[in-house]
Amino acid sequence: MEYFLVILTLLLASDWSVQVVTKPKSPKEPLKEPLKNKTEVVPLDGTLIATVTAAPEKLAEVHIDQHKTIRISKGDLDDLLDVYMGKIAESAATIKDKEHEINQLQSKDQTDDELLKRFQNLTEACTAQNASFTTEITEKDDKIKELEQKVKVYETRLKRKQHLVTDLRKQNTSNALLIDHLKGKVTYFQRKFREKRDDLLADWEAATTTCLPYGSSPGIHLIQLPDFLPFLVACEGQTAAGPGWMAIQRRLDGSVNFYRNWDAYSKGFGKLNGEFFMGLEKIHRLTTSQPHELYISFKRFGGETSYAHYDDFLIGSAEEGYELTLLGHYQGNASDALRTHDKMKFSTFDRDNDAFTHMNCAVHHQGAWWYDFCSRSNLNGKYFKEEVDNAQAIYWEPWYSFRSLKSVQMLIRPKSQLELKDWVSRTKRRPRTL
Ligand SMILES: *[C@@H]1O[C@H](CO)[C@@H](O)[C@H](O)[C@H]1NC(C)=O
Ligand SMILES: *[C@@H]1O[C@H](CO)[C@@H](O)[C@H](O)[C@H]1NC(C)=O
Ligand SMILES: *[C@@H]1O[C@H](CO)[C@@H](O)[C@H](O)[C@H]1NC(C)=O
Ligand SMILES: *[C@@H]1O[C@H](CO)[C@@H](O)[C@H](O)[C@H]1NC(C)=O
Ligand SMILES: *[C@H]1O[C@H](CO)[C@@H](O)[C@H](O)[C@H]1NC(C)=O
């Protein structure tokens, strides 16, 4: 359609002259050549040579070239124009429709744009909110983690405390048991102490100078001598030699050190219920207060026992060097190993009274004794836990040898047995045990 429109426009606008040849319409005068092809009428190139003869009733003659001429009548042309005009109108309407459509589409586009923008805005808003929420969530997460950490710390602490409480409860229980035990002990000792105090008060009242009143019951008792502070002694009731003996020296187990100086031997040391030396001053006082006898018992590591008995025993004063002033007759099955020490002064490592001028016997024998050249007995020597032949040992030998003894005890007792009997019947006192 457009094709024809263009042709028409060209036809109208061009200033070529259309020669209209009026010719009567007779069948005898047909068109030289029939209008074969309308396109042939108006070729677009300029080679078209058209001459329109101005003859209104004539046909318009369009000469294509020398041989071809198209003849169109005016009426035909008008008809053609009408047709084309109608088509143009149609086209215009169509165009308008299309324009309308386009407008509609364009407005729709605009709406879409707005929607898109709004959507984008919304998305942005959402994203922003999401971001802020995300941040908040992250913060909360952090806080939760922090709190969880704290909870863990507190749980650990709690566990520790619980552990501690359990421990303390256990300790409390054991402490309570211990306290009960100690309370029991305190009660026991209080009772013992009261008994002992009563005993000592009784001893005080009795004012004894010997162990004779306690007969065959051993124990620790208070002794009072004139012009001398009262002191405790160990009374030995059950010995092979009978009752009423007082221990002045005892060796048992080596628990007490006997290598001591003059002062210690003068005052005495050790424990009355264990190993001890009574003290030379007390022995002096006791043996000078009345005649005493001496009984020494020995025990070897093999279990063999023996004894030595002297019916007189007297120790001199400190001024006399605690000399073994009097040693009575020997009787026994050990040996008379104290005989060579008769009339000798006592010696300690710091008081050399022995017969040797070039040697300190107390040092040589690691003891303290009435050493001469130096000794056949050394009952304050060093304690050995088995039988050895050692000059430092506790020994009691007939000749110079040094077999160590397992245990030794030196006992004294007022000489007269008659006196003992008299004393017991006079006081009628029941002896007590420790
Ligand atoms: C986007 O949203 C903001 C705030 O909600 C508003 O101020 C702005 O006008 C909006 N923009 C559009 C294109 O809708
Ligand atoms: C929100 O934020 C998180 C983390 O920044 C991201 O993974 C997620 O895709 C976001 N969601 C939206 C809808 O933007
Ligand atoms: C500790 O033990 C005592 C005596 O058994 C009891 O009375 C006390 O309640 C205990 N204390 C604790 C904290 O268990
Ligand atoms: C010494 O005599 C006592 C008492 O009679 C006795 O028990 C002991 O076995 C005797 N020891 C020796 C070595 O004869
Ligand atoms: C129209 O003319 C052209 C060129 O002259 C020719 O090729 C064509 O066949 C013709 N068409 C008709 C229908 O006669």
**What pLDDT, in 10s, does the model give residues 386-433?**
999 999 999 999 887 899 999 999 999 998 755 445 544 544 444 444
DSSP string, 233-267: EEEE--BTTBS-EEEEEEESSS-S-----HHHHHH
* Nearest alpha-carbon partner for 295 in 246, 252, 225: 246
Record the pTM.
0.54
Does the beta carbon of 178 sit less than 6 angstroms from any atom of ligand 3?
no
Question: What's the whole-number mean pLDDT along residues 142-158?
Answer: 95
Ligand 5 center to 46 CA (angstroms)? 19
Residue-level length of the chain: 434
The mean pLDDT value for 32-40 works out to 47
Confidence of residue 340 (pLDDT cuts 50, 70, 90): very high
- Average pLDDT of 134-160? 94
Question: What residue owns the CA closest to ligand 1's atom 6?
Answer: 121
Distance (angstroms) between ligand 2 centre and the Cα of 127 equals 7
Say what the pLDDT of residue 329 is: 94
Q: Is 331 in the pocket of ligand 4 (CB under 6 A)?
A: no
Q: Write out pLDDT tens, residues 298-331.
A: 999 999 999 999 999 999 999 999 999 999 999 9
Strand 245-251 and strand 19-22: the pairing is unpaired
Domains of the chain, CATH where assigned: 212-428 (3.90.215.10)
Position 61 confidence tier, pLDDT thresholds 50, 70, 90: low
At residue 5, the pLDDT reads 54
Tens of pLDDT, residue by residue over 267-294, are 999 999 999 999 999 999 999 999 999 9
What pLDDT score was predicted for residue 64? 67
Ligand 3 centroid distance, CA of 188 (Å): 25
Structural tokens at position 75: 């009426």
Residues 6+ apart with CB under 8 A from 414: 210, 212, 244, 290, 291, 292, 293, 420
Query: For ligand 5, atom 10, which residue shows the shortest CA distance?
Result: 37
Answer yes or no: is pLDDT of 110 > 50. yes
Ligand 2 centroid distance, CA of 38 (Å)? 71
In this predicted structure, the answer to whether residue 28 has a pLDDT above a threshold of 50 is no
Contact 333 CB / ligand 4 (< 6 Å):
yes
- Decide: 127 in ligand 2 pocket, CB within 6 A: yes
Q: Greater confidence, 269 or 6?
A: 269
- Percent of the chain past pLDDT 70, that is, above it, reads 80
Q: Give the residue with greater pLDDT, 157 vs 56.
A: 157
* pLDDT at residue 43 greater than cutoff 90: no
How far apart, in whole angstroms, are the C-alpha atoms of residue 285 and residue 262?
17
